[in-house]
Structure 1
């Protein structure tokens, strides 16, 4: 245990109370012999001897061990043996909190137990109580039912403290005990510290104490600390009913010691309640062999249920709860071959000693496998080929995806021993003709079955195949084109063969044998003009034959078949033609001659076919053309060397232009024109003709003149202004004084004003044209 707590309590809260209809009763006058007899119900099947008991050494008149009876309470055991760390009579309910220091808790003079301490690995035990006896096993299993109760199940004690108890057994003549009072499936001792619910924080008189999470709560029964609790026992909590058992050797004698003690102090006591009659020899027929426990018996196997007892006993075996024994089965073991619940009843030397055992046997479903034959083609006729065994996995497993992967072996003995599997089943070379290999398959329970796989070399053959010829149908005539294998090749390959065959295609024989790197249905040959591929004819997973297929690509690249562009003058016709010597001609106009006449613009094409059936197409693009009409001229003049004209025109042809009738250019714009009269022309480059002439004028003015009578630049005039009779020119001096007005009749100025020569200077002019356009500028008079 324990810490020592100082707690005040009114005396009446711990006064011994009389048993009620809700409480167990306790009789502490039973001897060790009485208690052992109670555990075994004095059965002749339990050969016990040398019973002893020890415990309470402080009260003088009471024992810490005794007999209990549930009476009318809800206690889970009707009666049994009680071992406690205080006077056993104080175990009667209901629960009353035990003071930290009280008259019933024992004394430090009441010692512990060395065997318990050694078994549990603890020290400082006290107030030990034990019941010991020897027994000689008649069967192979012993067990008893018990419940642990303790006043440690309060406050936050389970997080830190626990009394110790153990059910110890050892074979006579040996020194090491085995403790049977453990958490099922573990070596962890049952205790309040190892079995409890979640413990909340506890507020004590000295401050809060931390709680702890639940541990092995599955095995915890109940807390009895509620103020309204009327528990039949005087303990603050208890486990569920637990079972302690172990296997023993029939005929051997064992020593049993049931012992409990306080640990670390003698307060807050605990007890063990052991069910009467639960200490018994049983027949352990082994664990159930079921699908639910994941260990059923494999289909087709036999299983021996063995009691491992002497053949001198009398045996009866039963199946599926039948009251009639299985005829003829009177041996210590029973061989079974099918599922069922099997019971054995054994008379152990006396009609008063009957032991029983039961086991459930279930068989797995049969692993149904299919023997298979795999037919492969031989690429060189030596009877040896490469087989991809894995292609038969699904067929061998009968399409059962729950089974394991198939493992292949060359001998059945290897398959059964699971040794020397075929290392690479995807590429296995047979060693002899019609070789049989063996497939091993397991289910999820480790059961196995075997199937045969016969490896055969195909003896089928097909006739040599004609080349598959196509034309190079793209614009690059390089001998490379595509083949639609299923429609262009397969019909020829399968012609005359049995129904149900299919064809796969490969680049080379090894790939065809191994079915590696199959070609796509639309295959582009990689060797120009002619290439050999290999057709594998298959019948399901089997190979019927492998045959070479020649793929030929004919090119057709006639000369002068590039597209042509030409033009057609309005109202005319043109002849379109290709060379002679082709098998056929077909124009997009429907005509089938090599020459046609086109009288309208548009696209014309002709498809020609040669002797191999290959086609080529030539296209003529005819554009319309005609004589242009010049509609005007956009003139920039009065700009010196920047004078220009842009000829305006309409028409559908391809034109070149001239302003003198001799020199033609593509651009309708002419620049750097001197003042003059010009005639513009537009000429169709396609030969359709020359436009009507179009006359235009470029005007400009002199930037100076020298009226000195030498015959050069003696007057100032605008050239060609006389061609525009409605135009006028007004000349001013720098002050805006009108000096001269020119028109179609007076077209030049000599530098005189009112008969007098003006001085050298700059003068200004303004020209108004017929259309209202006004041009202004200035010029110099030089003397």
Structure 2
């Protein structure tokens, strides 16, 4: 299919140069380049040696006139001009000088100088140079003219220039604090009253470039240490700057310095750095302390948000700050310096500045400067010098100047130049030969042999009576359009809710691999008619296109490498379908209790769809088919969300799509069920099962405990295991365990899965585990109890290892009281106590009465019910069958003998009250085991 493209060339009256004026550059440490041959050639005859500011200017034929660093003006013989020294610029200023030809003069030029820091020639001044003087080598005949308005110490290091809209006018723009100053230059000279544009930003740093786009519409300013890069609109009819827009830079390279527009003004490039600043020049000159990034912004976009979103990092590496400058060859050159005064031997170059992102083709060490060095600066020029003819697509309004356009073999193309006032002469060139002098050229049935570079040169006398040479060029690449297959048939099985009406859904995108032969460079779009193709109205949702049989649907195949395309038709056929029924798949429910004590059904089963695929494939053994599974009929028709491999599902219906392997057309469709058989869930317990086995003194006998693994489902089969070994004849739901260990019941449930004559006899298992722990009643004996009495801290200690095999707890004197795990009691009072020992597992308890002896220090026989007698707590004939307890007065006279079972001595002798005094005792106690306890001491009788 052929297509026709119309292109318009927009020419404006703002250009008054042939670009030869920018042919020779001097910069850096005696470096230079010459563009006369079309490519930059290194030259080394310059006297200029500067770290930053520089400027140069040639005649229309590219012959050098003079150059400057802002303090000295050198002529074409590289000798300083008369009066051309000690100008008020500064070589350390970012843009130390700008050269402007005086309108309507063939010999006079202005050089505007920009100073640096206070104390180093700050401010803005200009001088007049007359090239008719000094035998045509020039003389600085006037100046300096002060333009500072008394604000020299505030002035920035920036200057830029552009042609004015009026004939024979220029604008020179500089910047101070928060104002742009636009000075108009006419045949009458420099207007000393500038147009002031106050902006909503006050700069703190003087450094960084100021540039105007070649079409005079935009202005960009870099405030380096402020970390601000700002874009404005410029009106070359009034000199007004407006519409402030901040550009976002990415840390650490967020200190902008070099700035430049592409020739068509659509792209802005920024060289930003993170320069290390200190007073230590050793640090300044260490390349590792500097890192720079080259950014691209698309400033043709309508909003600042879109412009910022277009930011692209072209290059990042260890570099010092550097200038960017558009050349007469429409390439942008980049100053490369490793550190403050460590220059580079090369210039970088952006080969195609109008292209997006990396396609701008940046080359780092592109221009060899020989023995000379590039530092931070490059010479600025009047931006209009580099203005390009805008070549635009008439249909899309896309500018293609300096672009590479892709055309398709066999198609027709027409390129037109806009009518111009006056008598323009058009010269279209191909391979350096003029091919047409008409405003248009036409390619008919273009072939690959016609690829290459096309140039247009237009000679015109403009309204200002200036002879202007306009230039534009574009590169043509010619590609073959893709070859589309002429026979595409899409057979679809109707398997929706009404599978017999012949109307179904087609996933047109599923045919793309067949259409493109799996070529990823080809894109396919579908259309319902030729009219839809003409109006570019593709089918909106090709993945869900609903129709009956359609004998002619169209597709457009585009090669993304060239945008060449081919259009063909395809046939859709919708076949009513009676869904085939395939054997169901039965599986057991997945058991979530694998690592637990009992089975737990998940509700899902694991299905092997690959095995099912193989079984269906066997049915169609005579065909080369593809078998696919889907969860619903729509997915099956659209061939989306295929089920593959081994997957978990609950009970559900599955759809089968059977397609021809060659063209993916549907041959048959069917369905089957996924059936999940529930696993049996026997009873379980969440804790140990206790087997009580009596006490250690009982005669040997068998004890059992009930384990209940019932499922309450008739037909379930049971098998019990002990420590993973089957228990013979243990096949009942309930098992009586007779020893400690791990028990498990495995329950088998059989299923008869009968559907459509397909029977799969299967069984599913579930389990429960029971941990049986043996325990017994404790047995406590007096010999297993250690008593410490007659002390400040009476204690009872029970030997737990002699009690039995249970897990025991202990209490003193209180059957219903608080029990403790430790068999030890402290601070026990003298007297008789009962120790209780309980089995925590619930198998029973035992108790023992113990005696704690005490020998009171006094008694008070006053019948108040407290300490009325003296006796020995913890002593009686049960614990001590033999006892001798004697009481004496202080003279050794025997007063009485006490029976341990009695109430004790009441303080009398022969019926008479004895006086308060100290009395002595002698005690001998013999327990049942024959152990003798002797004790002697004294106590007090106190009468109150």
Higher alpha-carbon Rg: 1
Q: Whose strand fraction is larger, Structure 1's or Structure 2's?
A: 2
